[in-house]
Amino acid sequence: MKYLYEFRESEKVKLIIKSIEKICKSKWTIMEVCGSQTHSILSAGIDELLPSNITLVHGPGCPVCVTPREVIDKAIALSKMKGTIVFTYGDMLRVPGSRESLFRAKADGAKVKMVYSPFEALEFAKANPDKKVVFFGIGFETTAPCNATVILKARGLNLKNFFVLIAQFRVPPALEAILNDPFNKVQGFLAPGHVCTVMGIEEYLPISEKYNVPIVVTGFESFDISQGILILVSMLERKEKGVKIQYKRSCKPEGNLRAKEVINKVFKIGDLKWRGIGVIKNGGWVLKEEFLDMDANNLLKNYSEEIEEKKEGCIAALILQGKKKPFDCLLFGKECTPLNPLGAPMVSSEGACAAYYKYKR
């Protein structure tokens, strides 16, 4: 398959690793932001092939992992309301809220349906005007255009029974939150290629300038990752800041202008809570005023939120900020497993703890 298998050839990766060994003279701590990048690194063993003076730490780039527990609780409450059906992506079903997951609620009779596209929920709403249909839409900049489009479509059809529960995260403010931490050790970022394919690099340039940190927009195959590290290490060794694009076969500096236009029609930037981290200023998108009548929170007038439970010993927040690794957690692989996830990075297969459980345990 063109654009895929040629980026997984191990001999090409080994050559790049040798180039990294030649230029790397100092100790560097690099964060790969996206969970898919973490999985590629661990599955290919890139972390073990790199020189010992390069430390890879894993970022918060898994949208399922960072979706707050209380938002999941709301989705569960909606799924139990008479005449209401919740539609969402499959990887959200298993993520635990305060007391249970959507999957468990569904097993007990709640009305939950898995979809591959929000337009499946829209079609159901059109065909069933007597039902209240809620699309539980989460994600980073990658899902925002599709989620915005379905909202515009529903508005165009004047549907009165279609609602959305949105947790839409933005990556650049999360990088700033990491860099603002006085204990931060990250010196360079491998930025997520798919996010930048949508949004471009405009928001990353001022971050690089302000914090004097190089950023390389990187793809997801083993060749992409190793080449991104090579570019980043060469910038670090030259004390060079700025934003470079490794993922040129997909990402343009300006991003996808049409996608950004659709996002800006429906959403505005707002503060958002990230599970395991807390509220990040400007960390997400929220509905604009003209779409607030479609907010599923309107259906929860008598709803009282659960208090988030503290998991003693869980270091998810430190892992999501690159301060610790899954093996540093005493609960990893014991009390906390993919079947019984306690922390945010274990709740989704894309999380760092889930990746360590799969590839390094």
Q: How confident is the model over 283-336, as pLDDT tens digits? A: 999 999 999 999 999 999 877 776 555 567 889 888 988 889 999 999 999 999
Tokens (6 digits) for 348: 């989704």
The three state secondary structure string of 131-167 is CEEEEEEEECCCCHHHHHHHHHHHHHHCCCCEEEEEE
Dihedral over Cα of 174, 325, 356, 343: its sign: negative
Q: Take residue 322 and report the two structure tokens written for it.
A: 């690159």
Kindly indicate the confidence band of residue 7, based on its pLDDT and cuts at 50, 70 and 90.
Answer: confident
With vertex at residue 278, the alpha carbon angle to CA 28 and CA 355, rounded to the nearest 5 degrees, is 50
Q: What residues pair up with 165 in beta bridges, in sequence order? A: 136
How confident is the model over 221-233, as a mean pLDDT? 97
8-state DSSP, 306: P
More confidently predicted of 321 and 38 = 38
Higher pLDDT, 342 or 335: 335
pLDDT digits 0-9 by tens, 175-205: 999 999 999 999 999 999 999 999 999 999 9
Supply the pTM of this predicted model: 0.92
Least trusted range by pLDDT, from 44-48, 117-121, 156-160, 343-347: 343-347
* Residue 99 one-letter amino acid: R
Tokens 């599709």: give the residue. Answer: 146
Listed in sequence order, the residues at least 6 apart from 304 whose beta carbon sits closer than 8 Å to its beta carbon are none
Burial of 299 (0-12, 13-18, 19+ CB in 10 A): middle
The CB density around residue 261, as the number of other CB atoms within 10 Å, is: 11
Partners of 270 in beta bridges: 284
